[in-house]
Amino acid sequence: MSDHDPQTAASDADIGLIQRIIPHRYPFLLIDKVREIVPHKSGVGIKNVTFNEPHFQGHFPGKPVMPGVTIIEAMAQTAAVVVGVSLDLADKEMLVYFMAIDKVKFRRMVVPGDVLELAVTVKRGGGKIWKFEGRATVGGELACEAEFTAMMDMPANG
């Protein structure tokens, strides 16, 4: 396949496109951009972790640590953007629901100032049910890994 094949060409999603694909907004929009999107295959989400995020007020006072569940949610949002780009779902009000989260391991704390990279790979997809593998890293160091399955609630009138 050529480099210009839309099924294999990598692309990026800025915050504007992310908001056109997934419904999440402050305080629960947990990715800033998605780069290296290969439709139906993979993408890398970027989360710039800042002290101003609401969960740091209570998790934990004096020692801010990004909750593990929000790291997994950021992976899922990245995956949803990959699906949205793959199926051309911008502006079509797609919703995504977790069905399973498996093989989760946390290896490093994520703290304000970190740039979290969320690499997701499609293990199975194409219809309503998609399965992904995700790895979250900071500076190349593994912070979290997981497999997760999600149902895409796609608009009936594409």
Q: Annotated catalytic sites, by residue?
A: 59
What DSSP line would sit under 1-52, residue for residue?
A: --TT-TTT--EEE-HHHHHHH----TTS---SEEEEEETTTEEEEEEE--TT
Q: How many CB atoms lie within 10 A of CB 62?
A: 4
Nearest-angstrom CA–CA distance, 12 and 132: 19
Taking the mean position of all CA atoms in its chain, how far away is CA 10? 16
Residue with tokens 């609630």: 153
